[in-house]
């Protein structure tokens, strides 16, 4: 995909937001760059509400059309989540493929998937996302055909829809079976008396790097987003604790993605301790949003602060005073009682303290 050009766009509905939208857009653009796209233009409209037909307002769509015509990109990527109707209308109006943030995430997942389970989940998520759009476009085409010649289109339309439905059903069944197996394995480990500590956090935070440093494994680590899709398990030497490396989060995570990757989140649900890996070398604002969203996801999965440990990773990239400023922000957001351990998976700094915080018995915490 190298050399492909993308224009990005966003309808910003919060008129008071003068800064955060740039950070969010920047994150989307770095995902696109990881896929090999060059960002050639960014179009923002400030509008209290998205429009039902085009997301953007009518006048703005005309302006976008002119700009797209001049730039001639390969794709127009919209930050906002698009309905099938909005995607269809925009594509007709602009004459270019239009995708949203969720599509971009799925594209990256597809590139990263190497195991069977991840591949099945991505195929299902992609089909579920595409299905309403396929239905809409097929029905529009079918209606047009019927107006012209009657018949013909209907058969092909139903056949295509049925084929997709059948495939989704097969995928769901396979994933269900694997989920049950996985849940049994998790329960077996717990019943064996092991304590489960899960490494969680944003993609590229350094979860796998820490996992490797603590377990002695050599699982793949890279700058590419979502290097890890399915969980990895390993013991911490000398401790009755299983460490689990999990799939990363992404900003404004789509609920459909969470639903499709439920299985991967089972590890968090069943864990005794959650180690939230925070990349403290991120810009302060970005770190703050990521942390807030991570805490929200963890609490939605039923995990509170009492079992949380913060691994403030990549301290090797910071001066001491820079780290202190970040720790202060984290402390402000979490309140007292949650251990914040400065670590570097790269230099090994703080790893011993991290292990101590991970294996500490919950009874002791209450007494402290």
Ligand X SMILES: Nc1nc2c(ncn2[C@@H]2O[C@H](COP(=O)(O)OP(=O)(O)OP(=O)(O)O)[C@@H](O)[C@H]2O)c(=O)[nH]1
186 CB-contact burial (10 Å; exposed 0-12 / middle 13-18 / buried 19+)? buried
The whole-angstrom separation of Cα 31 and Cα 249 is 13
CB atoms under 10 Å from CB of 194, counted, come to 15
Contact pick of 344, 350, 355, 357 for ligand X (by CB under 6 A): 344
Contact pick of 237, 285, 300, 316 for ligand X (by CB under 6 A): 316
Binding residues for ligand X, total number by CB under 6 A? 22
Contact pick of 200, 295, 313, 338 for ligand X (by CB under 6 A): 313
Residue 115 contacts ligand X per CB under 6 A: no
For residues 240 and 194, is the Cβ–Cβ distance under 8 A? yes
Q: Which two tokens stand for residue 51?
A: 């429009």
Site string for ligand X, 224-263 (x = CB under 6 A): -xxxx-------------------x---------------
Residue 200 contacts ligand X per CB under 6 A: no
CB of 86 or CB of 227, closer to ligand X:
227
Strand, coil or helix: 51: strand
CB of 228 or CB of 344, closer to Mg ion:
228
Nearest distance from residue 258's CB to Mg ion, in Å? 18
Name the binder of 344 from Mg ion, ligand X, none, CB < 5-8 A by kind: ligand X
Contact pick of 55, 96, 120, 205 for ligand X (by CB under 6 A): 205
Q: Which two tokens stand for residue 14?
A: 């919060």
Nearest distance from residue 184's CB to ligand X, in Å? 25
Residue 89 contacts ligand X per CB under 6 A: no
Residue 85 contacts ligand X per CB under 6 A: no
CB of 207 or CB of 290, closer to ligand X:
207
How far is the CA of 29 from the CAs of 39, 104, 126, in angstroms? 7, 10, 21
Q: What are phi and psi of 274, to 5 degrees?
A: -115, 120
CB of 157 or CB of 202, closer to ligand X:
202
CA-nearest of 358, 298, 299, 289 to 330 is: 289
Residue 190 contacts ligand X per CB under 6 A: no
Name the binder of 157 from Mg ion, ligand X, none, CB < 5-8 A by kind: none
Residue 208 contacts ligand X per CB under 6 A: yes
Name the binder of 261 from ligand X, Mg ion, none, CB < 5-8 A by kind: none
Residue 207 contacts ligand X per CB under 6 A: yes
Contact pick of 203, 254, 288, 310 for ligand X (by CB under 6 A): 203
For residues 12 and 21, is the Cβ–Cβ distance under 8 A? yes
Residues that bind Mg ion (CB under 5 A): 207-208, 227-228
CB of 294 or CB of 313, closer to ligand X:
313
Contact pick of 44, 221, 301, 333 for ligand X (by CB under 6 A): 221
The whole-angstrom separation of Cα 232 and Cα 267 is 10
Where is 232: in which H helix or E strand? strand 232-235
CA-nearest of 239, 195, 189, 199 to 219 is: 199
Name the closest residue to Mg ion (Cβ): 228
CB-based contacts of 36, cutoff 8 Å, min separation 6:
1, 2, 3, 4
The stretch among 16-24, 80-88, 309-317, 329-337 that binds ligand X (CB under 6 A) is 309-317
Name the binder of 231 from ligand X, Mg ion, none, CB < 5-8 A by kind: none
Name the binder of 24 from ligand X, Mg ion, none, CB < 5-8 A by kind: none
N- to C-terminal Cα separation, the chain: 54
Scan for tokens 């960014």, then name that residue.
42
CB atoms under 10 Å from CB of 267, counted, come to 24
Residue 350 contacts ligand X per CB under 6 A: no
The whole-angstrom separation of Cα 225 and Cα 243 is 21
CB of 68 or CB of 229, closer to Mg ion:
229
Where is 242: in which H helix or E strand? strand 241-245
Chain centroid offset of residue 110 CA: 13
Residues near ligand X (CB under 6 A) are 203-209, 221-223, 225-228, 248, 313-314, 316-317, 344-346
């Amino acid at each position: 995909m190298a050399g492909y050009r993308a224009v990005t766009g966003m309808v910003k509905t919060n008129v008071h937001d003068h800064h955060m939208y740039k950070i969010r857009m920047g994150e989307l653009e770095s995902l696109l760059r990881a896929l090999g796209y060059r960002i050639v233009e960014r179009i923002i409209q400030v509008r209290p509400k998205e429009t039902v037909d085009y997301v953007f307002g009518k006048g703005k769509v005309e302006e976008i059309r002119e700009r797209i015509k001049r730039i001639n990109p390969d794709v127009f990527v919209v930050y906002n989540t698009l309905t099938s109707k909005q995607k269809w209308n925009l594509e007709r109006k602009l004459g270019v493929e239009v995708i949203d943030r969720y599509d971009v995430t799925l594209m990256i997942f597809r590139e990263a998937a190497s195991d069977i389970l991840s591949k099945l989940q991505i195929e299902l998520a992609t089909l579920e996302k595409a299905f309403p759009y396929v239905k809409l476009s097929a029905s529009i085409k079918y209606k047009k055909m019927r107006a012209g010649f009657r018949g013909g289109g209907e058969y092909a339309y139903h056949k295509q829809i049925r084929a997709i439905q059948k495939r989704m059903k097969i995928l769901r069944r396979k994933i269900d079976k694997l989920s049950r197996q996985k849940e049994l394995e998790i329960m077996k480990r717990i019943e064996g008396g092991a304590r489960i500590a899960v490494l969680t956090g944003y993609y590229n935070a350094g979860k796998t790097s820490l996992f490797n440093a603590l377990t002695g494994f050599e699982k793949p680590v890279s700058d590419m987003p979502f290097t890890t899709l399915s969980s990895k398990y390993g013991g911490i030497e000398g401790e009755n604790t299983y460490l689990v490396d999990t799939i990363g989060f992404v900003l404004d995570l789509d609920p459909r993605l969470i639903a499709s990757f439920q299985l991967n989140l089972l590890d968090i649900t069943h864990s005794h301790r959650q180690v939230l890996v925070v990349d403290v070398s991120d810009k302060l604002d970005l770190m703050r949003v990521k942390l807030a969203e991570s805490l929200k996801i963890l609490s939605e999965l039923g995990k509170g602060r009492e079992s949380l440990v913060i691994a403030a990773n990549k301290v090797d990239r910071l001066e001491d005073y820079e780290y202190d400023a970040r720790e202060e922000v984290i402390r402000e957001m979490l309140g007292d009682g949650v251990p914040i351990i400065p670590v570097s998976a790269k230099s090994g700094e703080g790893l011993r303290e991290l292990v101590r915080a991970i294996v500490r018995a919950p009874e002791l915490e209450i007494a402290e």
